[in-house]
Amino acid sequence: MRKLILTEPKISSDEELNIAYQIIWSIEHKKLNDAILLLDRLSEGRQFPQSWIQATKYALKNEDWSVLSEGFIKKEFIGTDGYFLLIAPHQLSSDKCEVIKLSAILGKVMSIDCVPLKDIEEQALNIFGKLLQPITEIIPITCVFACNRFYGENSEAFILPESWMIPGSLEGPVINNMARHRQRFHQVVRRNIPRIFEPDTANLLLDSLADETIGLQRQHIEYQYHDAGHATGLGIKRKIQDNLLSTYWFAGIEEWRADSVEFELAIRTLPNAEVGKLIAANFCLRFGIDAQRWGGYDYDTHATSSLFNLEYLFRSSALCIKKDKLALRNPDYQSLVKAIEMQRAEAVSITREELSLEHPTGILGCYHSIQVHHSTKEIFRKFIVGASEDMQEN
């Protein structure tokens, strides 16, 4: 009988991480030949999937990123201990243009409990009868080291699959940089929300994310439910591929629709006490960050989505103006759930209408039904955007 001999990897785990650092440094300084040699060395270890590292080396050497498609879609770039090294051209839409840069991120997947996707999917099927695309998985990560798009104060927190210039990447997962989300909460959201809302409402929203551990978990869970909302109706992948969201306004409606379906799915799958806090977490992002984006609702998709949320809060009479700030009439989580009933019902109706269309372009007619009153726009400018501008001037 042959004796089984277990061979040790040629390099240790610590050495592998050090090499990964060096690879990213080489890419940032445009020393691609050095990065290729280092990738060859990295493939001798066990911390990262060897097939992925070899494919990355080939892609970098030959500028053929199609070799990464299958591994990215199937999440085969993640090692057994959760570490991963992603290197590819990445497209980021800045304030005025779109730029593609070769970028890299060394990260580790975090363990965060969430309602299983199959349970969320089951409820989506109960509501709409069918799903035309799978729910995209959101992978929560901590960023160990990165360059270009994923490093610094303006780095990406929510890395969309289609932003990678890897053929077919739209079918892959979202990479969710949770440390960046927490940073934005502390540096931006906690500063903006009290400027926009009176104290009781501001505290209600901020308390949903205040605790570091629970807040981090809730932020991730909220993003996962949001992407479940995108999977309903015609599905976000079909809409992107068929260019059905060609204007910021239609794309903003899609974001608002995903938020609203998210709330419907959360009500059906989360404990009652948790639903209002998830809605509050969503409003922290929409009003505290997205509403302040450059160009506002005349240009930016996410700012426009925030405007729709504001419109429906006023339609439901849940929101009022109090002492020159916005205020929930009943600042508690149970009332917050009731406050979004109207937009939930509207979004579910539109989503069902999408599924009954004879041709996908009919979605434009569905979305034209969403209107915003002129007074809502004025309130948005004065009490949401204006509040943050006044703060910056002071």
**pLDDT single digits (tens) 56-102:** 999 999 999 999 999 999 999 999 899 999 999 998 765 556 788 99
Task: Please report the pLDDT score of residue 161 as a whole number.
Answer: 93
Token pair recorded at residue 277: 């806090």
pLDDT of residue 96: 56
Residues 6+ apart with CB under 8 A from 99: 91, 92
> Which residues have a Cβ under 8 Å from the Cβ of 184 and sit 6 or more positions away?
157, 289
> Count of H helices and E strands in the chain?
18, 7
Burial class of residue 136 in the structure, from the number of CB atoms within 10 Å of its CB (0-12 exposed, 13-18 middle, 19+ buried): buried
User: pLDDT (tens digit, 9 = 90+) per residue, 291-313?
Assistant: 998 888 888 899 999 999 999 99
Report residues of the chain scoring pLDDT below 70: 1-9, 93-97, 152-154, 387-394
pLDDT value for 394: 39
Distance of CA 271 to the CA centre of its chain: 23
| pLDDT value at residue 148 | 78
Please tell me the distance from the alpha carbon of residue 25 to that of residue 49, in angstroms, as a whole number: 21
**pLDDT in the model for residue 113:** 84
For 242-275, the pLDDT digits (tens) are: 999 888 899 999 999 999 999 999 999 999 889 9
Q: So what's the pLDDT on residue 9? A: 57
Q: Could you state, in order of their start, the residue ranges of all structural domains in the chain?
A: 181-393
Taking CA atoms, 292 is separated from 92, 198, 286, 385, in Å, by 18, 18, 9, 6
pTM (2 d.p.)? 0.90
**Pick from 133, 156, 137, 158: nearest CA to 146:** 156
Q: Give start and end residues of each alpha helix (H) in 63-172.
A: 69-73, 117-128
- In a 13 Å sphere around the CA of 224, the CA atoms on its Cβ side amount to 24
d(CA 334, CA 274): 10
